């Protein structure tokens, strides 16, 4: 490692030791803000994940066929549909298979369907699409086919889910930017107090010929170290709470939402990297802003 970097790191730790109160204040401020940011991050990521899972459960279109539509005609329709770019799979469902499907949904009340004089459900073609957001293109193509009595798909539900997802993403972006801004301001003000407390010492250092790097580097490393430590501690707390939620309520969430939470392994891997990068960046940005305002050579008192 470069000798100047080592010297700067030593000075940074020395400064932190001399100003334990300010260091602790900055550390806890970053921890508190990143803790809030972390919970928002976990909630938003999981909501997006579950929304995507729910959207995928509505990725099918059911073409209800006329009584006069033969199986051969249905096979030709299916072959045409398979050639569409947004179609993943096409299957044929008989009226008897459809009735069994509904009996499964009715559960304990399936006997009600057995009392029907005849099966009222039609034969149908089930289209599974690749991208729910572009389902309209497949619907438009299928609507022009002969032999279809009606068409069933959850357009309104899908559109609502898409709108909700877009709103969540915008709100998340605004909240993250706001919290990051607050974090940088907190670090900047803390470093500023440290600079003010050492103003006389810095002036003497300038008089004896110390370079800008020699003066500024310890403050930069101080901010980065505080930011990294605060990020790692807050990240560990967020992951601990997330582990508790997944262990206690994960199964219930899957049953209610028909979609699961992001796995703990994936969350740990991503959150650790993101928080470490955020902590270092916040600390560095706060230090740079403070130094530009208070350590400019033109502002040092003679």
Q: Which of residues 206 and 269 earns the better pLDDT score? A: 269
Q: What domains can you pick out in the chain, each with its CATH number?
A: 3-55+159-299 (no CATH), 59-153 (3.30.70.3040)
The stretch 27-34 carries a mean pLDDT of 82
Q: Residue 175 pLDDT > 90, yes or no?
A: no
- What pLDDT is attached to residue 298? 40
Q: What is the mean pLDDT of residues 46-69?
A: 79
Q: What is the mean pLDDT of the chain?
A: 78
CB 273 within 8 A of CB 239: no
Pairwise pLDDT comparison (77 vs 99), residue with the higher score: 77
Q: Which long-range contacts (CB under 8 A, 24 or more apart) does 174-180 make?
A: 175/40, 176/37, 176/40, 176/41, 179/33, 179/36, 179/37, 179/40, 180/37, 180/278, 180/282
% of the chain at pLDDT higher than 70 = 81
Most confident of 72-86, 91-105, 288-302: 72-86
| Cα gap 48→263, rounded to integer Å | 14
Of 17, 28, 12, the closest CA to residue 229 belongs to 28
Q: Is the pLDDT of residue 88 over 80?
A: yes
pTM tops 0.75, yes or no: no
Confidence class for position 50, pLDDT limits 50, 70, 90: confident
- Quick one: pLDDT at residue 96? 87
Mean pLDDT of 158-167: 75
Judged against a pLDDT cut of 70, whether residue 109 lies above it is answered with no
* pLDDT at 2 exceeding the cut of 70: no
């Amino acid at each position: 490692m470069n000798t100047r970097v080592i010297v700067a790191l030593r000075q940074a730790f020395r400064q932190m030791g001399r100003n334990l109160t300010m260091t602790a204040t900055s550390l806890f401020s970053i921890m508190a803000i990143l803790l809030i940011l972390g919970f928002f991050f976990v909630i938003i990521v999981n909501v997006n994940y579950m929304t995507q899972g729910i959207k995928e459960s509505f990725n099918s279109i059911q073409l209800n066929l006329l009584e006069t539509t033969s199986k051969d005609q249905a096979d030709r329709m299916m072959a045409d549909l398979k050639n569409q770019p947004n179609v993943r799979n096409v299957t044929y469902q008989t009226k008897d298979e459809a009735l069994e499907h509904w009996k499964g949904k009715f559960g304990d009340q399936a006997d009600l369907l057995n009392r029907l004089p005849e099966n009222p459900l039609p034969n149908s073609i089930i289209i599974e699409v690749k991208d729910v957001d572009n389902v309209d293109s497949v619907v438009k193509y299928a609507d022009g086919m002969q032999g279809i009595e009606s068409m069933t798909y959850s357009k309104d539900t899908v559109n609502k889910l898409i709108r909700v997802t877009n709103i969540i993403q915008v709100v998340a972006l605004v909240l993250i930017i706001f919290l990051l801004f607050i974090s940088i301001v907190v670090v900047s003000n803390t470093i500023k107090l440290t600079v003010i407390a050492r103003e006389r010492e810095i002036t003497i250092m300038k008089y004896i010929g110390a370079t800008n790097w020699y003066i500024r580097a310890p403050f930069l490393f101080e901010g980065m170290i505080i930011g990294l430590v605060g990020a790692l501690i807050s990240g560990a707390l967020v992951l601990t709470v997330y582990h508790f939620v997944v262990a206690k309520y994960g199964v219930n969430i899957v049953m209610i939402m028909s979609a699961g939470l992001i796995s703990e392994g994936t969350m740990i891997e991503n959150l650790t990297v993101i928080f470490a990068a955020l902590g270092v960046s916040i600390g560095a940005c706060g230090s740079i802003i403070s130094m530009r305002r208070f350590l400019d050579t033109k502002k040092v008192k003679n």
